[in-house]
């Protein structure tokens, strides 16, 4: 049983499959496309949503340190991803890397984990997108029915001049300080988040049409949001009040993870979700024109640019407004409001950038997941329907539609904090496995061609894996319990379907000493 579970897939076989241009995915992406795809995924919820929420709940102004810690972990993992992506340019991302290094069982584990990562990420960001759209429309006197703008069973309260807001501890305290009792305000109970469901449906349709159309749309969104973010950072420095940075590390409340250094670490684990974009770049390797050269550029380039923007945004945002006011769906809009009436013109521009930015994140996440399904189905671990490619558009349309449908349901009923923490723990696990895989493959197959080599092996991979596992430990217990349930479902599917239908078992693997059905 052990030898079967840990059979590896030959790297040459993986490369041969990726070279199938007639029946496979269309190769149209350049290094620029890959870099903008990475920025499109990374610069989104982290800046427009999670920065404020993590600062308000866990780290305070020290959220800057959290971003540095998370960015450092990503740098180590990114170097490992770059080596794998240039060496094994196929759509499976970390799933394929694990299959080539640590065997089928661990490949399934990481593949199932990636489903959690991408599927829930798309839903998470769509909730943030909804918050900005509702706020943007509110500015123009357009008010969507409150019960259709939040997660199922969320209690909303109508705040004067702010519109409908979910009830939180910070909101209650803020209203009390203004002499307003929250019980005196109108309340409704939400049914579903309709705007979040709408954007997922629209982008799913775009993804079915084609990868080139998707990349072009993403390029426009990235240019829009990065330009406005740079504008906000530049203007924001003029409105910074140094007093908002004090205390820089708020005193711990007595509960682990709520401010103090433990809060910084928990915030780093939560905002790690914001960095999954370069991972999504690797899922498009099979559609890259020259993956050996372009994948490292796309992965490391998007990671570097995004990390710098994150740190600058965290510094400016917590300097403009107190971190205690940032636990909202649209914290950047709160920052613009704090600049005063003279900067009111920036408010709609920021919200347009946020809407564009979050759209590109959702797009890239919805793009990544079907390609994981596609590769797992090609290996026989999922039903063949998941590997169907549209005869005209050359996209994995069945898995794209299924991914979109499930993401629509999740976006409509679950709140952003639960979704975000699930994505973070899934991402951290994926990165840790990839880092370990670099060490394993260097030892097992030192002869393989590596167009890009991770420096200082095994130090860099060990640091990457160690930091990721440490950040996982900092996440809430509830998140771990949800992860365990998710993997229990995955193991059931593997042992009752994947193991029986694995193509590697049917055709054999010379590297494992078998050449027939096992």
Tokens at residue 348, please? 């709609």
Q: Which pLDDT band, with edges at 50, 70 and 90, does 347 fall under?
A: confident
Chain centroid to CA 44: how far?
A: 9
Please report, for the chain, how many H helices and E strands are present, in that order. Answer: 22, 3
The answer to whether position 156 is within a domain reads no
Distance CA 80, CA 73 (A): 11
Mean pLDDT score, 414-432? 78
**Which of 295, 278, 220 shows the shortest CA–CA distance to 39?**
278
Distance CA 76, CA 71 (A): 9
Mean pLDDT score, 71-84? 87
Within 8 A by CB and 6+ apart from 444, the residues are 101
The answer to whether position 517 is within a domain reads no
Q: How many domains does the chain have?
A: 1
pLDDT digits (tens, 9 = 90+) for 148-184: 988 887 888 888 776 777 777 667 777 787 788 787 8
Which range among 32-36, 115-119, 188-192, 264-268 shows the weakest confidence by mean pLDDT? 115-119
pLDDT at 170: 65
Helices 346-378 & 397-413, crossing angle to 10 degrees?
130
Whole-number average pLDDT of the chain = 84
Distance CA 186, CA 164 (A): 9
pLDDT at 375: 86
Tell whether the model's pLDDT for residue 331 goes beyond 70: yes
Is 474 buried (19+), middle (13-18) or exposed (0-12) by CB count in 10 A? buried
Distance CA 114, CA 98 (A): 12
Chain centroid to CA 407: how far?
A: 13
Cα four-point dihedral sign 442, 71, 113, 203: negative
Of 28-37, 233-242, 409-418, highest mean pLDDT: 233-242
pLDDT at 59: 93
pLDDT at 116: 81
pLDDT at 92: 56
For residue 396, give the CATH number of its domain: 1.20.1740.10
Tell whether the model's pLDDT for residue 514 goes beyond 60: no
Tell whether the model's pLDDT for residue 460 goes beyond 90: yes
Distance CA 225, CA 207 (A): 21
Tell whether the model's pLDDT for residue 9 goes beyond 90: no
Count CB neighbours of 446 within 10 A.
8
The answer to whether position 283 is within a domain reads yes
DSSP E strands in 377-480: the ranges are none
Tokens at residue 474, please? 């900092």
Distance CA 91, CA 105 (A): 18
The answer to whether position 217 is within a domain reads yes
pLDDT at 2: 46
pLDDT at 21: 53
pLDDT digits (tens, 9 = 90+) for 212-260: 777 788 888 888 888 988 999 999 999 999 999 999 999 998 888 889 9
pLDDT at 58: 92
The answer to whether position 151 is within a domain reads no
The answer to whether position 166 is within a domain reads no
Mean pLDDT score, 467-495? 88
pLDDT at 1: 43
The answer to whether position 189 is within a domain reads no
Q: Which pLDDT band, with edges at 50, 70 and 90, does 381 fall under?
A: very high
Which range among 10-14, 141-145, 400-404, 477-481 shows the weakest confidence by mean pLDDT? 10-14
The answer to whether position 447 is within a domain reads yes
Is 460 buried (19+), middle (13-18) or exposed (0-12) by CB count in 10 A? buried
Q: Which domain holds residue 22?
A: 2-142+200-512
């Amino acid at each position: 049983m052990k030898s079967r579970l840990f059979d590896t897939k030959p790297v040459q076989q993986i490369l041969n499959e990726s070279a199938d241009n007639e029946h496979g995915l269309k190769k149209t992406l350049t290094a620029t496309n890959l870099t903008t795809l990475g920025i499109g995924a990374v610069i989104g919820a982290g800046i427009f949503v999670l920065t404020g929420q993590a600062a308000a709940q866990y780290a305070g102004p020290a959220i800057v340190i959290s971003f540095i810690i998370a960015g450092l972990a990503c740098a180590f993992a990114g170097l490992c991803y770059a080596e794998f992506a240039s060496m094994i340019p196929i759509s499976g991302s970390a799933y394929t890397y694990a299959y080539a290094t640590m065997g089928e069982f661990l490949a399934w584990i990481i593949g199932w984990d990636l489903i959690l990562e991408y599927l829930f990420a798309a839903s998470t960001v769509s909730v943030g997108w909804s918050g900005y759209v509702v706020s943007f429309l509110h500015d123009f006197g357009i008010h969507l029915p409150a019960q259709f703008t939040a997660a199922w069973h969320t209690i909303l309260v109508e705040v004067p001049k702010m519109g409908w807001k979910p009830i939180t501890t910070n909101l209650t305290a803020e209203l009390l300080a203004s002499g307003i009792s929250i019980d005196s305000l109108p309340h409704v109970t939400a049914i579903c988040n309709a705007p979040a469901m709408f954007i997922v449906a629209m982008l799913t349709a775009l993804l079915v049409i084609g990868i080139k159309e998707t990349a072009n749309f993403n390029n426009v969104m990235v240019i829009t949001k990065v330009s406005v973010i740079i504008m906000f950072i530049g203007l924001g420095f003029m409105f910074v009040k140094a007093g908002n940075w004090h205390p820089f590390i708020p005193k711990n409340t007595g509960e682990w993870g709520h401010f103090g250094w433990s809060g910084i670490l928990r915030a780093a684990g939560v905002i790690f979700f914001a960095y999954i974009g370069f991972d999504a770049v690797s899922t498009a390797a099979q559609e890259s024109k020259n993956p050996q050269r372009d994948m490292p550029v796309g992965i490391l380039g998007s990671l570097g640019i995004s990390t710098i923007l994150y740190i600058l945004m965290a510094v400016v945002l917590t300097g403009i407004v107190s971190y205690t006011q940032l636990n909202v769906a649209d914290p950047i809009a709160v920052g613009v409001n704090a600049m005063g009436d003279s900067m009111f013109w920036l408010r709609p521009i920021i919200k347009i950038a946020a809407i564009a930015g979050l759209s590109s994140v959702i797009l890239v996440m919805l793009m990544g997941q079907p390609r994981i399904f596609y590769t797992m189905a090609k290996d026989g671990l999922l039903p063949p329907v998941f590997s169907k490619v549209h005869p005209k558009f050359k996209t994995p349309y069945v898995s794209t539609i299924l991914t979109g449908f499930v993401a629509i349901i999740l976006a409509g009923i679950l709140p952003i904090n639960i979704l975000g923490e699930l994505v973070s723990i899934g991402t951290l696990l994926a990165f840790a496995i990839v880092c370990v895989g670099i060490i394993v493959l260097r030892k097992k197959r030192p002869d393989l061609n590596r167009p890009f080599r991770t420096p200082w092996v095994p130090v860099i991979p060990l640091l990457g894996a160690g930091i990721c596992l440490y950040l996982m430990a900092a996440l809430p217990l509830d998140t771990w319990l949800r992860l365990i349930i998710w993997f229990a479902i995955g193991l059931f599917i593997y042992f009752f379907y994947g193991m029986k239908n694995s193509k590697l078992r049917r055709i054999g693997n010379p590297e494992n000493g078998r050449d027939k059905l096992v």
